């Protein structure tokens, strides 16, 4: 598999638009997004036909190195999209895009926003062009004369200009946030990817090393007689692809849609991930069969594991800007929406017994939501980094555990299911 990265000097420079164009032009390619971003891999999946992977050292620990193994099973090219600017992370340089590219020996392209610059932009890029930089893509030039002025300096210094993209509103993927329509984002990504691809020269691919990656651990392919039902639809879709593949290889996995009022077939465990339940309040309120199943499954001691949006659905009520909706009522409490987002990496310590994690264990994840939760239920975890629910997380009720944080199930799955099976 051939791998290369897309990065920039700052966020908002056009990394995602260029990644969309690369996915459109390069057959059998997949996005690997650095950082805990559920939205980009979903939106760009409309281009390549499959959801991308996430790579995040905070969430995945040393297992982040396994992501190329998963990606290489079905793809010939991996396109790594960096997080923020090349050296940025908010967690120190060791979590920056530069650190990932250096550790994994990923050659990369620097996307340069030239809109407000002339020749000076070349000198601004010097500190961002390491030895493994393949070249640059000049983004958002305003006129042909402007492009000639900027490009000439790069040419004079022997820097490979892989592409030049003009400034046009129809070529920009706007900054996204929780609450957008994923389907609208997908349509826009395909449209923009197709248009921008015309401005990029792919000759650089011939110079990239083709590496072989080992297949993911064989133990993941030894299926166990354990049924995991996963909620999957437009309301619940925040799952890491490596986690779903891990579960599918180890267990009997079935998917069901709360939005369609579906009921899973005799599961041993139910997994409800995050997503956008607040955009589908009325439809979820009408999901009577799904909600009744979850309450009965809970009362009978069934094991339920939820994260963020899934936990909101398992509470009694959910309020958005339109109304107050009745949810499943597995947990006592309610959720509502605020204007200010909560965004943070998280670290949690287990202080109370539960079916999934042993007391004393530590897990790492991230939280990103506009909602807030109020509950009087017992909590299993103390939050040492992040916000959680008033400094705690992991609502416990019988064999149900509801998080506000997101974790990568591939990382903790072996420990979780060792306790369950």
Instruction: Label residue 266 exposed, middle or buried (CB < 10 Å: 0-12, 13-18, 19+).
Output: exposed
Per the DSSP assignment, residues forming a β-bridge with 141 are 166
User: In angstroms, what is the C-alpha Rg of the chain?
Assistant: 23
Catalytic residue among 308, 395, 407, 410: 308
Is 137:110 a contact under the CB 8 Å cutoff?
A: yes
**CA proximity to 269, closest of 380, 400, 133, 117:** 400
Q: CA-CA distance, 313 to 236, in Å (whole number)?
A: 10
Element (H or E) spanning 269, and its range? strand 269-272
Q: Does the annotation mark 308 as catalytic? A: yes
- DSSP structural state of residue 142: -
Give the sign of the dihedral formed by CA 214, CA 218, CA 221, CA 226.
negative
Taking every pair of Cα atoms in the chain, the longest distance, rounded to a whole number of angstroms, is: 73
Is 353:361 a contact under the CB 8 Å cutoff?
A: no
- Known catalytic residues are 308
């Amino acid at each position: 598999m051939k791998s290369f990265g897309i990065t920039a000097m700052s966020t908002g420079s056009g990394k995602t638009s260029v990644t969309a164009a690369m996915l459109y032009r390069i057959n059998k390619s997949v996005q690997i997004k650095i950082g805990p971003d559920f939205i980009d891999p979903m939106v760009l999946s409309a281009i390549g036909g499959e959801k991308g992977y996430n790579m995040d050292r905070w969430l995945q620990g040393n297992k982040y190195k396994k992501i190329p193994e998963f990606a290489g099973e079905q793809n010939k090219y991996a396109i790594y999209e960096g997080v923020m600017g090349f050296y940025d992370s908010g967690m120190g340089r060791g979590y920056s895009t530069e650190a990932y590219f250096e550790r994994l020996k990923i050659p990369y392209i620097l996307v340069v926003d030239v809109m407000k610059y002339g020749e000076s932009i070349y000198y601004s890029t010097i500190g961002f062009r390491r030895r493994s930089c393949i070249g640059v893509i000049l983004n958002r030039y305003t006129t042909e004369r402007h492009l000639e002025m900027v490009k000439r300096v790069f040419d004079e210094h022997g820097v490979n200009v892989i592409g030049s993209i003009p400034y046009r509103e129809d070529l920009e993927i706007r900054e996204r946030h929780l609450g957008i329509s994923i389907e609208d984002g997908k349509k826009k990504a395909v449209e923009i990817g197709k248009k921008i691809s015309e401005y990029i020269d792919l000759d650089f691919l011939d110079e990239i090393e083709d590496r072989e990656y080992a297949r993911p651990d064989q133990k993941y392919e030894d299926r166990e007689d354990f049924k995991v039902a996963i909620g999957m639809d437009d309301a619940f879709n925040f799952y890491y692809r490596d986690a779903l593949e891990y579960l599918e290889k180890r267990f009997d996995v079935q998917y069901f849609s709360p939005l369609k009022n579906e009921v899973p077939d005799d599961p041993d465990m139910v997994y409800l991930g995050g997503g956008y339940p607040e955009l589908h309040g009325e439809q979820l309120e009408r999901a009577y069969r799904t909600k009744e199943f979850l309450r009965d499954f809970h009362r009978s001691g069934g094991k339920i594991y939820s994260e963020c949006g899934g936990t909101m659905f398992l509470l009694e009520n959910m309020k958005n800007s339109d109304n107050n909706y009745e949810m499943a009522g597995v947990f006592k409490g309610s959720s509502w929406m605020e204007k200010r987002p909560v965004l943070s990496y998280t670290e949690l310590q287990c202080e109370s017994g539960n079916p999934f994690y042993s007391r004393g264990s530590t897990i790492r994840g991230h939280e990103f939501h506009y909602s807030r939760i109020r509950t009087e239920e017992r909590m299993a975890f103390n939050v040492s980094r992040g916000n959680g629910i008033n400094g705690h997380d992991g609502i416990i009720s019988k064999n149900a555990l509801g998080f506000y944080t997101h974790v990568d199930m591939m990382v903790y799955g072996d420990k979780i299911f060792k306790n369950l099976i």
